[in-house]
Amino acid sequence: MTEQTSYFFWDLGQYLLNGIAQGSIYALVALGYTMVYGIIRLINFAHGEFYMVGAFVGLFLIQAHLPFLIALPLAMLGSGLLAVMVERLVYRPIRKAGKIQALITALGVSLLLQYLGQNLLGADPRPFPDALENKTYMFGELMISKIQIIIILTTVILMGALRYLVMHTKIGKAMRATSYNLEAAELMGIDTNKVISFTFFVGAALAGAAGVLVGMYYNTVEPMMGLIPGLKAFVAAVLGGIGVIPGAVLGGLVLGVAENLVIGFWVSTYRDAIAFAILIIILLIRPAGLLGRNTREKV
């Protein structure tokens, strides 16, 4: 193999690695989207803001010298609680109204949180302090940083925990039942309101974790940071099949890798466009997503 070709493969490997790290973050956020959509058919536009709040809570805790392993769960808690509050105050009353109303309301909440953040915290990006010394490990020409390892590990652990929660606990069963058919679940005695609030909590907690990880990975946080990643995570959820939990993970990884391949082999300025392009292609070719089930509309 010539040096050029070997470099090509090392580079490809690097982009794949970067893509998996980034994709893990998308996956964590996408999980929240997909869970909420699965249960109440709402695209929670404000989900990106739960991610942002998690990042900021993490920032403040780490600035206060709390170790990463304590800051992370606390940030997750913060996001989760915010989500429950939003759900109770805004989404629950709107649930009976039309889908479009709900969508617009979610948009409103998203904007509200972003701009509140801007006004209260300042629009400027803040540097994220180094919570863990960053080290890089080389495997040949492949470079993996400690942070990337932590991101992938954290994501795997959280996803495992989620799977256990959904598949092997009572509340998980309740979540699955409610997402399958809300009225039937209610008739079976499930307190759907509680289940829905819990779903919001878990989804937002995952997003909050992603926010902290992102703060560490990119070294900056700012109030508008949730907008684009939020949209991309939504694309990931749709790509994998909205409402399907493993789909969110798959979608997130695919999106992360695709984005990094675009950056690597084309121009980084089109990195956001690839997400939207994938969205449109998927909606046109296979709207149910890669792992989704197709539901026909009955008249």
Partner 1 sequence: MKTCASVLALLCLAIPLSFAAAPKGEIKVGAVFPMTGPSATFGQESVNGMKMALTSINKKGIKGQSIKVIFEDDKGEPVEAANAVRKLITIDKVLTILGSVASSNTLAGAPIAQEAKIPLITPASTNEKVTMTGDYISRTCFTDDFQGVVMAKFAFETLKKTRAAIIVDNSSDYSKGLTKVFREKFTSLGGTVVGSSDYAYQQKDTDFRSLLQKIKRENPDVVWLPGYYTEAGLILKQAREMGINIPFLGGDGWDSATLQKLAGPEGIKGNYISSHFSSEDKDPMVQSFVKEYTKLYKQAPGAMAALGYDAVLVLADALTRSKSLSSEDIKQAINSTTNFQGITGNITIDKNRNAQKSAVVLETTATGFVFKQKVSP
Partner 2 sequence: MDLVSYFGPLLQNAGVFIILALGLNLINGIAGQFSLGHAGFWAVGAYVGASYGAFFAPAFLPDFVNLLISNVLGIIAASIAGVLVGVPCLRLRGDYLAIATLGFGEIIRIIINNLDVVGGPRGFTNIPHWSNLFWIYLWVVLCIIMLANLLRGTHGRAIISIREDEIAAAAMGINTTKYKTLAFVIGAGMAGLAGSLFAHAQQFIHPSSFSFMWSVIILLMIILGGMGSMTGAIVGAVFLTFLPEFLRLCGETVSEWRMVIYSLLLILLMLLRPQGIFGKHEFNLKRLWPSKGGAK
Q: What are phi and psi of 46, to 5 degrees?
A: -75, 0
Options 76-84, 132-140, 187-195, 272-280: segment touching partner 2 (CB under 8 A): 272-280
Position 193 contacts partner 1 (CB under 8 A):
no
Binding partner of residue 279 among partner 1, partner 2, none, CB under 5 to 8 Å per kind? partner 2
Q: What does the DSSP assignment read for 45-85?
A: TTHHHHHHHHHHHHHHHHHTT--HHHHHHHHHHHHHHHHHH
Nearest residue to 56 via CA among 129, 108, 110? 129
* 290 near partner 2, judged by CB under 8 A: no
Give Cβ neighbours of residue 21 (< 8 Å, ≥ 6 apart). 148, 151, 152, 217, 256
Residue 16 binding partner 1, by CB under 8 A = no
- R_g of the chain, CA atoms, integer Å: 19
183-202 footprint of partner 2 as x/- string (CB under 8 A) = --------------------
Count of C-beta atoms within a 10 Å radius of residue 43: 18
Among 40, 109, 151, 263, binds partner 2 (CB under 8 A): 109
Please, what is the angle between helix 227-240 and helix 99-121, to 10°? 150
Q: Does 268 bind partner 1 (CB under 8 A)?
A: yes
Contact 208, 57 (CB under 8 A): yes
Interaction of residue 97 with partner 2, rule CB under 8 A: yes
Q: How far is the CB of 180 from partner 2 (least distance, A)?
A: 19
Q: Of 193 and 220, which CB lies nearer to partner 1 in the complex structure? A: 220
> Which of residues 134, 173, 176, 277 is near partner 1 by CB under 8 A?
134
Q: Which residues bind partner 1 (CB under 8 A)?
A: 7, 11, 14-15, 18, 122-125, 127, 134, 136, 143, 145, 217-220, 260, 263-264, 267-269
